[in-house]
Amino acid sequence: MIIKSAYDFPDWLINGSNFEAYELVVDDNNITSLAQVLFIPIIIFYGIVGLIIAFGKGKSDDTMKKVYRSLLLIVFINVGGYMFCILIMLYILIPITSGSQFHLLLYGIFPAALLNIASASTAPILYINSSDYKNAYKKEYYLIKRFILKLLRIKENTITTTPVEILPKNTQTYCHYEAK
């Protein structure tokens, strides 16, 4: 990809990053460009999992319904994140950058951040919908907290306080000096 971009655009600076693959998005400017081709297998796999979840015959008890709801939400949000990223790249970034590789690299951070947020939504969804996941998270949080406190050599709950008694203000004990 980087070599093709270097031959196609010899006057453009190429930094050797993975983002050089997006150069073909600017070159083709259609739905079959490289960025969309990279997202298609992921979307297909999420779609297959979503169909299995939606039409699968499983237990109908309450816990399985929560599991199916969680998985369906995860699949929907992840596929939506990929589709949203593709739409932003096609209809907003490519017209704004108008072929400038540097600007595409600079502004491509925003849809990538949205895609990462969509991908990271798995943990909050599971935490909200699953009591088992919530209990496991609390257990791991305690272990991580204990490890960090041990690493930083901070003893847990060792802060001591001294009781302080606040007395009312007694105006007779103060000396008042008058300037002469």
Q: Residues 30-73: pLDDT tens digits?
A: 555 555 667 778 778 877 877 777 777 665 667 777 777 888 88
Total structural domains within the chain: 2
Domain shared by 86 and 140, yes or no: no
Please, what's the largest Cα pairwise distance for the chain?
98
pLDDT tens-digit map of 101-150: 777 778 888 888 988 999 898 888 888 888 888 888 888 988 888 888 88
Q: Is 176 part of a structural domain of the chain? A: no
**78 CB neighbour count, 10 Å cutoff:** 22
The first and second tokens of residue 111, run together, are 């849809």
Q: Give dist(CA 48, CA 23) in Å, integer.
A: 30
Please check whether residue 9 is in contact with residue 17, taking contact to mean a CB–CB distance below 8 angstroms: no
pLDDT for the residue numbered 57: 65
> Beta-carbon neighbour count of residue 94 at 10 Å?
20
By residue range, what is the domain housing residue 75?
2-120
Residue 141 located in a structural domain = yes
Say whether both 14 and 57 belong to one domain.
Answer: yes
* 175 assigned to some structural domain: no
Of residues 68, 47, 49, 50, the one with CA closest to residue 59: 68
Evaluate whether residue 166 is within a structural domain.
Answer: no
Q: Same structural domain for residues 67 and 100?
A: yes
126 found inside a domain = no
C-alpha angle 37-18-6 in degrees, rounded to nearest 5: 95
Helices then strands, each counted (H, E), the chain: 9, 0
